[in-house]
């Protein structure tokens, strides 16, 4: 595994390489952010962004969302993977948001993960993007890169998240999250990483690569 000094060099290099790294989801409110992140599970941000303008025009908040039937919601998000299960979760989450939080998205991790369909990754993204908290949301890119680069050496998502917490200064958690995602999308691909043009080539341990 990389030393903390080398981890700092990795984050510095990725920040320099991807100065515009940020959340790629389009949303207008905290509620829309929460719904968008829920819909993005095992789907691309681009596919979510194509579906949500019409959905949010019809149902911009929890009050209007719960008025949709499950079938109506499915019609809006049919182009997104796992749309049937996601429609159930979004409606159930919206009902509980109204019943327990007056329709307002809570700014507490424990409150967020208590909502249907909201896991650690979703909660961390909402807290980072919507509330300005320093969080690391471990999606497929972050999990793969953290363990490939050598920032962590773990076999599951939770241990990887906790390992990143230890390795990266807290004031850089959100930045590191975005930088790792951008690097995974643009250079360090799962099957064919472009090591020849990688900004951290020479620091990265290339774990798992032959």
Write out the catalytic residue numbers. 121, 139
Q: And the tokens for 32?
A: 């829309």
**Packing angle of the helix pair 30-39, 45-58 (nearest 10 deg):** 130
Distance (Å, rounded) from C-alpha 73 to C-alpha 167?
41
- Per-residue 3-state assignment (H helix, E strand, C coil) for the chain: CCCHHHHHHHHHHHHHHCCCCCCCCCCCCHHHHHHHHHHCCCCCHHHHHHHHHHHHHHCCCHHHHCCCCHHHHHHHHCCCCCHHHHHHHHHHHHHHHHHHHCCCCCCCHHHHHCCCCCCHHHHHHHHHHHHCCCCCCCCHHHHHHHHHHCCCCCCCHHHHHHHHHHHCCHHHHHHHHHHHHHHHHHCCCCCCCCHHHCCCCCCCCCCCCC
Distances (CA, A) of 39 to 8, 43, 118, 134, 186: 32, 7, 10, 22, 22
């Amino acid at each position: 595994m990389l030393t903390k000094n080398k981890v700092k060099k990795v984050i510095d290099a990725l920040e320099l390489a991807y100065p515009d790294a940020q959340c790629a989801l389009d949303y207008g409110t905290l509620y829309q952010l929460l719904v968008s992140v829920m819909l993005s599970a095992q789907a691309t941000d681009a596919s979510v962004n194509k579906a949500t303008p019409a959905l949010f025009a019809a149902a911009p908040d929890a009050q209007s969302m719960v008025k949709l039937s499950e079938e109506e919601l499915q019609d809006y998000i049919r182009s997104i993977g796992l749309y049937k299960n996601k429609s159930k979760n979004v409606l159930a989450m919206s009902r509980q948001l109204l019943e327990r939080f007056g329709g307002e998205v809570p700014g507490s991790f424990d409150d967020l993960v208590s909502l249907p369909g909201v896991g650690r990754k979703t909660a961390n993204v909402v807290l980072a993007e919507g509330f300005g908290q320093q969080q690391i949301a471990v999606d497929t890119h972050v999990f793969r890169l953290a363990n490939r680069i050598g920032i962590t050496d773990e076999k599951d998502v939770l241990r990887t998240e906790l390992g990143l917490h230890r390795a990266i200064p807290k004031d850089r958690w959100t930045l590191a999250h975005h930088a790792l995602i951008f690097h995974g999308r643009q250079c360090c691909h799962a099957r064919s990483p472009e090591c020849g043009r990688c900004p951290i080539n020479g620091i990265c341990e290339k774990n798992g690569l032959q």
